[in-house]
Amino acid sequence: MISVSACALPSQRARARIVKPSVPAHILRGDWVQERYDFYRVRLEGFRESLAVAVKTEAPDLLPRLVPSKPVRYGYRILPKIVPDAPPPTGPQRATSVAYSWPRTNQMIDREWEDLARSEAEMETAAALMPAERRTLYKNLANGYLARRGRQENIDAHIKHNRFWQAAIAADRSRYERETELHDAVVERQAVHNAIDALDALGTTDDAAFKKALDEIKAIDRSLGRAELEVGLREREKMLARIIHDATQRIRASPFFRVEHSEPHLWIFRVIFYTDIDDSGFVGFIKEAVEKIWRHRDGDEEFRVEVSISFIPAAGLYREAPIPETGAEIDRGSHVLLFPGDAAVLTTGALATHVYGRAIILGPHDIAPRVLAHELGHILGFRDLYFRGYKDLGTDGYQVMEVIAEPDDIMGAPGTGRVMRRHFERMIESAAERGGLIETEQ
């Protein structure tokens, strides 16, 4: 086995020797982190192969734990697996900023490299052990490999996330400067809310703890007395809430649904889709799943979305061009344009499920019903209720910062958020503005 010292990761000094002044910092830094990750990934695969050879004769039952991961296949007609929704969160949800950057990803690689070096060193001791001890070591190393492979996939996801969003920030700095302001407003609103909670919970004499709760809050004069600070906090929270509300509450006018109000207290929102997915069971499951989530009752008032999905075979779309093979990479814009323009679209071919214009384009990764309902929300005209801001890190590229503005809202937290009355009220307003509201007199 090659010693760890002979295969050290590319160093910061090695990076400094690479001079490419014409390449943007976020790309140059990303290429260097990618090089280090690729080096680690190859080394991890070598460790897996060595461990598999070692256990093949002495502990063959461990081999299934050492099967190499297969790349996820994606492309046209590749369907995701529908998995159960995540359990609902317990307790109050707080807005927490999550940051991604090349330095952070690089630290993750460093930690994994050190962990791999320890496992390699342990494996070198196997020959000197008794059979029972050796089997225990191999079992621990195999289990450790499974966990390590999961962390490797997480690093890979971080790299892709950084690549995509740092490029987006570089291409539209003004947009993301506005998003940064909104991100900061959400973070500060949570800090103000925390301080108010602390104020309500603290005794009247615990001024030190109260002042500490103000550390993360801007625009607060800490020289004021506690009573004045309390008034200022509550006013600050209202002001930040208005800023966030103005940025999130108005929905985009969507022509892909209409509202029927033919019975007292019943509002039906009809959405029409076209699809080229020929698995009727899969399509039917999606329809039932999102309809179940986009439903709300408040007293006597009932609101529900009803989805109609019409099938168009691929041959009906590609009349003047060859039908793409299963798994083929397709141009999403050109593909969506093949569908009639009077309805939304449900199709396949994405690397990750997302909404593109009027289409939900499915990727290959497992997806839960509530996440699909979140994507339907975009078709209905709602924006994401999270903000993506940034910090310029100079030669390290950008730090991407993400925060959910409304953690209990399905458009803010796709996996666990809820559909509420306010969603339907906004759709009614939107439909009325564009003439899509059908009312029948009783």
pLDDT value for 198: 72
Q: Given CA atoms 119, 120, 123, 128 in this order, what sign does their dihedral have? A: negative
Cα distance between residue 423 and residue 183, in whole Å = 22
Which residues are CB-neighbours of 267 under 8 A, at least 6 positions away?
Answer: 259, 260, 261, 301, 302, 303, 304, 424, 428
Cα distance between residue 69 and residue 102, in whole Å = 25
pLDDT value for 398: 98
CA dist list (Å): 296 to 23, 119, 153: 52, 53, 38
pLDDT value for 121: 96
Cα distance between residue 88 and residue 254, in whole Å = 29
Cα distance between residue 317 and residue 339, in whole Å = 7
pLDDT value for 249: 82
For the chain, the first-to-last Cα distance in angstroms comes to: 83
CB-CB contact of 154 with 382 (8 Å): no
* Strand duo 437-439 + 257-263: pairing: parallel
Q: Which pair of structure tokens corresponds to residue 145? A: 């490999």
Cα distance between residue 407 and residue 393, in whole Å = 28
pLDDT value for 8: 61
Cα distance between residue 382 and residue 426, in whole Å = 9
Cα distance between residue 274 and residue 339, in whole Å = 7
Cα distance between residue 76 and residue 318, in whole Å = 13
CA dist list (Å): 197 to 94, 183, 213, 370: 12, 21, 9, 31
Structural domains in the chain, sorted by start? 4-68+102-171 (no CATH), 175-248 (no CATH), 257-439 (3.40.390)
Average pLDDT per consecutive 10 residues, the chain (442 residues; last block may be shorter): 48 53 91 97 95 92 88 92 90 89 98 96 94 94 94 94 96 96 94 79 61 68 74 88 89 90 93 97 97 96 97 96 95 97 97 95 96 97 94 97 94 93 94 80 50
Q: Which pair of structure tokens corresponds to residue 36? A: 């280090």
| Burial readout 179-214 (b: 16 or more C-beta within 10 A, e: otherwise) | bbebbbbbbbbbbbbebbeebeeeeeeeeeebeebb
Cα distance between residue 333 and residue 314, in whole Å = 16
Looking at residue 67, the DSSP 8-state letter turns out to be P
pLDDT value for 438: 80
